[in-house]
Amino acid sequence: MLEQIMKILHAHGQTCNKFFTYINYLADSLESGETIVILSPDVTLRHYPALKNAEILKFPFYSEFFAKNIGYNRLIKWLDRCFANRYSLKFLSLFSKIIPFTNFIEATTGSYSSPNRIKYHATLKALFTPDPTLTKKVESIFRKEREDHDVICGVHIRYGDYRTWQGGRYYYSPQQYHLLMLNVLKLFHGQSVAFFISCNENLDLSVFPGCNCFTIPESNSTEDLYGLSNCDLMMGPPSTFSGWASYYADKLLYFIEDPNAEIKTSSFKKITEIWGKKQ
């Protein structure tokens, strides 16, 4: 007899925090065949059709009909209010103890690492590949940039909540990012380098003189995330956002802990080296 044939999973945090949680439990389900149920999906779900339609993953209260009629964002916010508050989470925990063959999991990023994650990496990557309309847009932009440049370095500039998170410890000015980018140019002396700028606020690229910079026009977070994964290497403050791009594409990443530190080639590492197996 199978035990816990259905897992109800609630992942805390923003999009990429949730993704790092999802992959571990999805890897286990790919191994065991158990079903994972997510009651309050991430706001980017519509951008990931393979994830939304995966056989081992169910979103029982997500409906395309309601998304079209009441609005996608409104539906996602409603599901979040219904199933991600402390009362519903307590109820789900109690529910899973009463109903046979269910298991409620409330997880934070890094709280569990699956031994099956490496085995199913290719399948997991396919599940988390964005909609082709988004990937084609991003890849078209990067193809044009690669016609004139040898290297593309992604720069994740995190403003918004980073102004106050941990006392603004990882909130850096455009001038600090510019100095870091000039440092990267020195690493690739003799090669043409372009910088893909991913920022959660509007940013005037003229603040980076001497650097060839580009963005994805009218981008959303999913396009920016996929854009980072198309870079040869990337840098930014410690964040699961750039961490996910590194994991997804197996690319090198430099977490900026000290904006005044000298960057070396050895500073860039894969996220699996930076975080090990804890994510």
Q: Residue 21: pLDDT band by 50, 70, 90 thresholds?
A: very high
pLDDT of residue 160: 83
Share of residues in the chain with pLDDT > 90 (%): 85
pLDDT of residue 100: 83
**Mean pLDDT, to the nearest integer, of 82-98?**
92
Summarize pLDDT for 56-87 with one digit per residue, the tens: 999 999 999 999 999 999 999 999 999 999 99
**Mean pLDDT, to the nearest integer, of 27-54?**
95
pLDDT of residue 113: 93
Both structure tokens of 131? 């909609």
Residue 194 reports pLDDT greater than 50: yes
Whether this prediction's pTM lies above 0.85 is answered by yes
Q: Residue 3: pLDDT band by 50, 70, 90 thresholds?
A: low
**Mean pLDDT, to the nearest integer, of 244-273?**
95
pLDDT of residue 165: 84
pLDDT of residue 2: 46
pLDDT of residue 164: 86
**Mean pLDDT, to the nearest integer, of 116-138?**
97
Residue 133 reports pLDDT greater than 50: yes
Q: Which residue has the higher pLDDT, 164 or 180?
A: 180
Going by their DSSP bridges, the two strands 252-255 and 269-270 should be labelled as antiparallel
Residue of 206, 193, 274 whose CA lies nearest to 240: 274
Q: How many CA atoms lie within 13 A of 87 on its CB side?
A: 2
- Please report, for residues 41, 57, 112, 166, the alpha-carbon distance to residue 16 in angstroms, rounded to integers and kept in the order given: 13, 18, 15, 19
Summarize pLDDT for 218-245 with one digit per residue, the tens: 999 999 999 999 999 999 999 999 999 9
Q: Residue 277: pLDDT band by 50, 70, 90 thresholds?
A: low
pLDDT of residue 182: 97
**Mean pLDDT, to the nearest integer, of 136-142?**
98
The domains of the chain, with CATH numbers, are 6-127 (no CATH), 132-275 (3.40.50.11350)
